[in-house]
Amino acid sequence: MSHNTITAVDLTIDLINRDSVTPQDKGCQERIAELLEEVGFTAEYLPFEEVQNLWIRKGTQAPLVVFAGHTDVVPTGPIERWDTPPFTATIKEDGYLYGRGAADMKTGVAAFTIACREFVQEYPQHKGSIALLITSDEEGPSINGTVKVCETLEKRGEQLDYCIVGEPTSDKIFGDTIKNGRRGSLTGTLTIKGKQGHVAYPEKVRNPIHLGAAAIAELVATTWDNGNDYFPATSFQISNYHSGTGATNVVPYAAQLIFNFRFSTESTPNSLKQKVHAILDKYQLDYDLEWVLGGSPFLTEKGKLTDIVQEAIFEQIGVHASLSTTGGTSDGRFIAKICPQILEFGPINATIHQVNECVAVNDITTLKNIYKRSLEKLLLSE
């Protein structure tokens, strides 16, 4: 097949057929670079330890429009539960393309790669610059991927103006949701200490499960903030609770629970930590508490980028996309530190990380057209 006629569907199939389970890339980034170097992009590989990263750019002038995404995918799970081989892209009679990464997010990567390629071929004298930031570490620890690339770009003074992340954001129908921000994630591992002993002699023990019960109830009932126009209220959820010695007649020494905040811009990591410690101290608990900040919240308020992408979606499919900050974290949290306007938009997310992950074939081409139209609005009207 001639490279000049490659479609977004073709490239999506090519990428799915590569078993790039995180942090592997399996040549995906080289394929993307090959297609874009043919139309004037300059590729730079930025590996950090086992992670492959690609920064590929055309142009030196502002504004710089960046598309970001990842080529790594989550493991398949039990292969026998798949109707078709997960790393053999399969188009069925129902009009869907099946394979691991179909929705998250090889379709998004393929669509914006071909959108950039077609845009440059059609408008070789366009203003501004275009770049792609691709990692193979989004589904893993996210330590040596986008965050390291962003640090590298910041150190050498590269200024990003707009960024579209190709994450699968659509909910009920394709095009209905744009993520213009994400909540922060803060995890705490709490160990409440007591005194171990025989259950028949309660006067000789201090049961950490009992001691922590009132404090835990208050943590669950606390309103941390009320959110704002863009974010729902901060949520507190306990994901794990461990205690016991394995015997039915022994009061354990300690109880451990792991909890997580998904927090809005109305709270900060420090404000949440202070409130938690105040509640625990109120009940005079003997405890250890370790914190891990998974990511801070970021927000792009309604403005030029959100308007343009909403317009492009409506022009292509007649859908009015809503702005949302729900869901988990993404690499957008790293890019937001060096880019003033960033959003996420991509295919329907109903099957991400599941067996028989799929995307509607027609949506792949439409997504490419939306990305291309967004480029036209950003770089031809400047």
Which residues make Cβ contacts (< 8 Å) with residue 81, sequence separation at least 6?
Answer: 355, 356
CATH of the domain at 18: 3.40.630.10
Give the mean model confidence (pLDDT) for residues 244-255: 97
Portion of the chain with pLDDT greater than 70, in percent: 98
Among 268, 295, 322, where does a domain finish?
A: 295
Average pLDDT, the chain: 96
Domain of 264, in residue numbers: 184-295
- With residue 185 as reference, give the H or E element that holds it: strand 184-193
- Total structural domains in the chain? 2
Q: Does residue 3 register a pLDDT over 60?
A: no
From residue 342, give the alpha-carbon distance in Å to each of 33, 57, 155, 200, 291: 23, 18, 20, 60, 28
What pLDDT band is residue 5 in, cutting at 50, 70 and 90?
Answer: confident
Whether residues 359 and 281 fall in one domain? no
Whether residues 169 and 193 fall in one domain? no
From residue 291, give the alpha-carbon distance in Å to each of 167, 187, 277: 28, 6, 12
Tell me what pLDDT residue 329 has. Answer: 84
Tell me what pLDDT residue 200 has. Answer: 98
Whether residues 358 and 306 fall in one domain? yes
Whole-number Å distance between alpha carbons of 380 and 130: 12
Give the mean model confidence (pLDDT) for residues 27-49: 98
Whether residues 40 and 52 fall in one domain? yes
Q: Is 167 annotated as a binding residue?
A: yes
- With residue 65 as reference, give the H or E element that holds it: strand 64-70
Q: Does residue 4 register a pLDDT over 70?
A: no
CATH of the domain at 205: 3.30.70.360
Whole-number Å distance between alpha carbons of 264 and 183: 5
Whether residues 229 and 84 fall in one domain? no
Whether residues 119 and 266 fall in one domain? no
Place of tokens 């909403």: 310
Whether residues 240 and 315 fall in one domain? no
Among 272, 295, 318, where does a domain finish?
A: 295
Cβ–Cβ < 8 Å for 219, 236: yes
Q: Is 104 annotated as a binding residue?
A: yes
What pLDDT band is residue 284 in, cutting at 50, 70 and 90?
Answer: very high
Question: Catalytic residues, which ones?
Answer: 72, 138
Give the mean model confidence (pLDDT) for residues 31-58: 98
pTM: 0.89
Q: Is 126 annotated as a binding residue?
A: no
Tell me what pLDDT residue 10 has. Answer: 98
Whether residues 265 and 196 fall in one domain? yes
Whether residues 302 and 289 fall in one domain? no
Q: Does residue 346 register a pLDDT over 80?
A: yes
Annotate 52-90 with b (16+ C-beta within 10 A) or e (fewer).
bbbbbbbbeeebbbbbbbbbbbbebeeeeebeeebbebb
Whether residues 39 and 176 fall in one domain? yes
Tell me what pLDDT residue 2 has. Answer: 44
Among 264, 295, 326, where does a domain finish?
A: 295
Whether residues 280 and 201 fall in one domain? yes
Whether residues 35 and 96 fall in one domain? yes
Cβ–Cβ < 8 Å for 147, 334: yes
Portion of the chain with pLDDT greater than 90, in percent: 96
Whole-number Å distance between alpha carbons of 14 and 74: 17
Whole-number Å distance between alpha carbons of 160 and 337: 10
